[in-house]
Chain A
């Protein structure tokens, strides 16, 4: 994938980027040591937690005693990430590395729960954690030093910001939402088993190598790769309320990707991914080889497919496309902090209890759910990054808005967290999505959904409708200063003709639109549902999420031409695959 998440661009206008093919973790952003061998197993976990808690209470007590501005809450979270990656292309290994790192996040609150240093100041995003590296061994001395140093740094920054906020408040109009800045949460003590990173690189290298070789000699494909990533993400959390947590998750991901360039310069990229809790849950040869064959034939077909014209008309979004559609246009607007921040568009803030979707649709955010229809979901976790137990939340019930995704930052009418405060290591927590599941009370078989599409095409007197089969991700902006718009990036799109002609593959379109206009156009849903697993990049970093939806018929969708590269395909032909002149 050619996109990366840039936090710097998120200052005022929120921009979400959801990507399927990029297993990008904050750990990798922070320059994980690669190729680590003889890694120290995350043993003695309790002692790390004990070290953290002891130092937390020492600092907290002293700051309460000595500080002119007193803290009322302090928390430490250590994220211990072990990653192994094997990547090959055209039958040769390109990456085979492992790495591990521990990152500390410190949150300190000064003032009081009603008004503290985290108070949102019209788009201003407070940041107190610095994402410091911790020793990988549970020796107190080096860990204590980092905890102490970061607490001092965060405390100074917190006092500074609170002072600034209070003085600024005096010259600003009153905020609409006067709910507190922080809420209480149950104290939890839970030491769960550590997640282990189970990717045996030496065992996977030949498989990845073999699969990647299937791209050899395929016409028009310039780049291809097969990559497997195994991650164990263990989190240690303690706070001044008394919560002590150790929990973790592992996951494995197999991504197949290929790129080509059409004669007119358009870049074409397709990918497929498979996710599982452990590498053993990933598919075997038959499934992967079939996926590669399908990807090759689709990419080659795209090379000669006609370019799509901008279009407004009826379309079917496949389950995975609809999942991304909902993640972008709906899920992000359900995030609690956006209802409070007056720089945000607040599309749904005042619509609780009102119909926001067709009555046959319900939307649930469920971080406790690990699978959907046998398929692993990437957005699950046991506790969020504020030490709150993950909870299933019904956001929309039969079209009626019921709830928001809440961290410990309350909003009017929603005083408590529902376990959706999330972050990548090094970022501040905000409310985020987990597993977003769209459920339809009335469904039709897929075949009937297609018939409905054709009827709609005829009704609108359109020459064709569109079928969005596969998407790679999307992005949206939710701020007031920008356009309340979204983009979904399809990979495989077909024109569906009403006159019985076969479907025609087209290329070069993105779905665009605005949220409120789009929801009213959802006309029908198919049976079942598809899963889209990916990484969502937003204010609190890149986090694993999933979205699930049935295929949907939309009576009106708008597409625009995709930005096209101008450079020509490689000027020389591909070099001979076997012999060279110099042998």
Chain B
């Protein structure tokens, strides 16, 4: 839940011409960030000791500018302060339950200049000195103690950046690595102080719900491992920068996770997972709906355990329901950020694969029927909340709606303040922490819209028409992908070995619920198939349904976005109609399966 700003103001503008576009895009009128502007505690933030400590210490740290040879030109403090809760059950028994204090302070210090600084270097962010901060932030907002912590964290960050800057300079002297464009781009100083407290969750209710849902699996003796977890993270995020940005923003996210697995009749792993997300209690489905969803997940696993194995297939595939936004989240959403190649170290070459959409602005990449927008300002869709709403990114830039694909042509990418090509400026998509001192871009609310569509119910018949026209024995319907993944590491490794490549293509997760559909309309569930080199070009020839499906997930930047991974995540929503793709290749998974256990699994107690 994001409350409207009680105080949301900007400072007078003093734009540098070269930055005009950036500033307009970023919305805010603000001064060109002079090196080390004075951060000012807004009136609306009076009494907030967290912000006061951050503002005062970041201002005092101006004195670091000329302490050693490498000049400090930018400082940024982030703090997430709040609390978390996590409870997990398996087969009706408590597995873990805990509350935690969330205190995540982060300091980013940049030395050098915007054009050439310590970031975007293989060794950026590696600090080799002593840590003197307490490594745990005070539980209470104790002003002097917080300032002390910021002081020590700043000292460490600055020294680390000086080290990186010097290494980088040394490395560049012996390599043909020319900095053609800045390491970091200026941005207007955003001042945004949102009042209010984050939403709360009823722990006892969710404790009961998680326990009850975990008991569903007592009815499924062939599911050998299952867990249901509920958790939340809530609090306030703060940000202060030496450019004058001051941000206070409450946040809350609750999650209910279900992961279960068993073995196929050939001994292979069969798993599924689901994650239900919400900013507040009322965003979640009813208890009954959750129960049905968990039972459906369990039914799906059981059905797949004995389903026939799939074969190689090339032909039309219908991505129905949630499978469509799951697919486009990966094929489009996750491809729209291009990381910058870091400066390397002599004798340490870096394999930096070219990503699928790199250098393709202005070219047609998908069907001209498709337009894709990323709209962080949207708060709801069809009366239901969207999760990707983002008022400000990690670099204190306010994002605006962005059309990324227009009539099939790639128009824009997700940009942060670290350009990956010359002339690039941020569009406020820095939503995750990245590598080499740069932030990582990610989608917010991604709308995949089709200019022409057919009624949802007709997609099946269109698929069958294609199957008949191609004289194929059957077509394929995919109703769920393993995204975010509920598979374990071994299972993911299997997929990686057959799917991921070193070419920069981001692999698409496994299809879990896959059906053959025969010309007579009969459907047959199959298992153990994977996509073969599924890339964005598969979206060139499509038929879209007329019903948008909404899918939420927590983007953690990891391959297949495994459920439960990552300290920092970006809430993301994808809205997409069912999609019939004219040609997709599937192939059977090659997995080594283990022999049956000599001992049968222990029986489950009888349930009513």
Give the interface of A toward B (CB within 8 A): 32-40, 55, 58-59, 62-63, 66-67, 87, 89-97, 99, 101, 133-137, 139-145, 147-149, 151-152, 155-156, 222-223, 225, 259, 261, 267, 565-568, 570-572, 574-578, 580-583
Contact between chains at A570 and B139 (CB < 8 Å)? no
Known: A223-B133, A259-B132. A142 touches B90 (CB 8 A): yes
Q: How far is A55 from B22 in the complex, measured between Cα atoms in Å? A: 66
B98 vs chain A, min Cβ distance (A): 3
A136 touches B94 (CB 8 A): yes
| Chain A, residue nearest B601 (CB) | A148
Please determine whether A37 and B99 come into contact, CB atoms closer than 8 angstroms.
yes
| B86 (CB) vs chain A CBs: closest residue | A33
Which of chain B's residues have a CB closer than 8 A to the CB of A141?
A: 91-93, 218, 602, 604-605
A36 to B207, CA, bound (A): 13
Enumerate chain B residues within 8 angstroms of A95, measured Cβ to Cβ.
Answer: 101, 136, 139
Nearest 7 interchain pairs by C-beta: A33-B98, A580-B56, A567-B129, A35-B99, A135-B93, A144-B602, A139-B93
B235 to nearest A CB, angstroms? 14
Kindly list chain A residues whose C-beta atoms are within 8 Å of the C-beta of B359. none
Q: 8 A-B residue contacts at CB 8 Å? A: A36-B98, A94-B137, A139-B91, A141-B93, A223-B132, A575-B144, A578-B144, A580-B56
The number of residue pairs between A and B whose CB atoms lie closer than 8 Å in the complex comes to: 186
* Complexed CA–CA distance, A68 and B148 (Å): 65
Given A92-B140, A580-B147, A582-B55, are A39 and B97 also a contact pair (CB < 8 Å)?
A: yes
Name the distance in Å between B118's Cβ and chain A's nearest Cβ: 16
Asked whether any CB of chain A lies closer than 8 Å to the CB of B60, the reply is yes
In the bound complex, how far is the Cα of B92 from the Cα of A134, in angstroms?
13
Segment touching A, from B151-159, B362-370, B371-379, B420-428: B151-159
Partner of A145, one of B59, B142, B224: B224
- Of B27-35, B61-69, B183-191, the one with at least 4 CB within 8 A of chain A: B61-69
In the complex, are the beta carbons of B598 and A63 less than 8 A apart? yes
CB within 8 Å of A: which B591-608 residues: 594, 597-602, 604-605
Contact B129 A35 (CB under 8 A): no
The residue in A32, A66, A156, A582 that gathers the most chain B C-beta atoms within 10 A of its C-beta is: A582
Q: Chain A residues near B600 (CB, 8 Å)?
A: 62
Residues on B with C-beta less than 8 A from A101 are 96
A-contact 0/1 string along B66-106, CB 8 Å cutoff: 01100000000000000000100011111111111100000
Q: How far does the alpha carbon of A577 sit from the alpha carbon of B53 in the complex, in Å?
A: 11
A96 vs chain B, min Cβ distance (A): 7
Q: Number of B interface residues, CB 8 Å?
A: 63
Q: Say whether, besides A58-B599, A571-B67, A583-B52, A142 and B148 are in contact (CB < 8 Å).
A: no
B130 contacts which chain A residues (CB < 8 A)?
Answer: 261, 267, 565, 567
In whole angstroms, what is the CA distance A92 to B136 when docked?
11
Query: Of B64, B139, B597, which is within 8 A of A93 by CB?
Result: B139
A156 to B596, CA, bound (A): 11
User: Besides the contacts A35-B99, A95-B101, A574-B151, what 16 more A-B pairs have beta carbons closer than 8 Å?
Assistant: A35-B101, A66-B599, A92-B142, A94-B138, A139-B91, A140-B605, A142-B95, A145-B90, A152-B598, A223-B152, A566-B129, A570-B152, A572-B64, A580-B53, A580-B143, A580-B147
CB <8 Å contact, A148 and B96: no
A223-B133 Cα distance, complex, nearest whole Å: 7
- Does B151 contact A97, Cβ atoms closer than 8 Å? no
Nearest-neighbour CB distance to chain B for A289, whole angstroms, equals: 20
CB distance from A220 to the nearest CB of B (A): 12
Chain B residues lying within 8 Å of A62, measured Cβ to Cβ, are: 598-600
Given A87-B136, A93-B139, A94-B136, are A33 and B57 also a contact pair (CB < 8 Å)?
no
Taking CB atoms, residues of chain A closer than 8 Å to B128 are 567
B287 contacts partner chain A, Cβ-Cβ < 8 Å: no
8 Å CB contact of A89 from B57, B61, B145, B599: B145
Question: Is there an interface contact between A580 and B98, defined as CB atoms closer than 8 Å?
Answer: no
In Å, the complex CA distance between A67 and B595 comes to 12
In the bound complex, do residue B91 and residue A145 qualify as a contact, i.e. CB atoms below 8 Å apart? Answer: yes
Q: In the assembled complex, which residues on chain A have CB atoms less than 8 Å from the CB atom of B597?
A: 148, 152
Query: When each residue 166-206 of chain B gets 1 if its CB lies under 8 Å from chain A and 0 otherwise, what string results?
Result: 00000000000000000000000000000000000000000
Pick from B52, B64, B101, B140: contact of A571, CB under 8 Å: B64
User: CB distance B155 to A571 under 8 Å?
Assistant: yes
Give the residue of B64, B86, B134, B598 whose beta carbon is less than 8 angstroms from that of A225.
B134
Give Cα A137–Cα B96 distance, bound, in whole angstroms: 10
The complex places the Cα of A96 from the Cα of B148 at a distance, in Å, of: 20
Q: What residues of B have a CB within 8 angstroms of the CB of A34 in the complex?
A: 98-100
Chain A residues near B64: list those with CB within 8 A: 571-572
Report whether B90 and A572 are in contact in the complex, using a CB–CB cutoff of 8 Å: no
Bound CA–CA A119/B10 (angstroms): 72
Q: Which residues on B sit within 8 Å (CB–CB) of A581?
A: 56, 59
CB distance from B405 to the nearest CB of A (A): 41
> Measured between alpha carbons, how far is A91 from B138 in the docked complex, in Å?
10
Asked whether any CB of chain A lies closer than 8 Å to the CB of B41, the reply is yes
Q: Is the CB of A59 within 8 A of B93?
A: no
Residue of B nearest to A151 (CB): B599
Kindly state whether residue B311 has any CB partner on chain A within 8 Å: no
Q: A93-B139, A135-B90, A141-B604 are in contact. Are A575 and B99 (CB under 8 A)?
A: no
Residue of A nearest to B227 (CB): A142
CA distance A136 to B225 in the complex (A): 16
Contact flag A33-B145 (CB < 8 Å), given A141-B218, A572-B151, A582-B55: no
Q: Do residues A94 and B599 form an inter-chain contact, with CB atoms below 8 A?
A: no
Interface 1/0 per residue, B444-464 and A, CB below 8 Å:
000000000000000000000
Residues on the A chain within 8 Å of B59, using CB: 581-582
Which residues from chain B contact A143 at a C-beta distance below 8 Å?
Answer: 93
* Cα-based distance from A259 to B91 in the complex (angstroms): 48
Known: A93-B138, A223-B133. A36 touches B155 (CB 8 A): no
**Pair A59/B599 contact, Cβ less than 8 Å:** yes
Chain A residue with minimal CB distance to B39?
Answer: A582
How far apart are B497's CB and chain A's nearest CB, in angstroms?
21
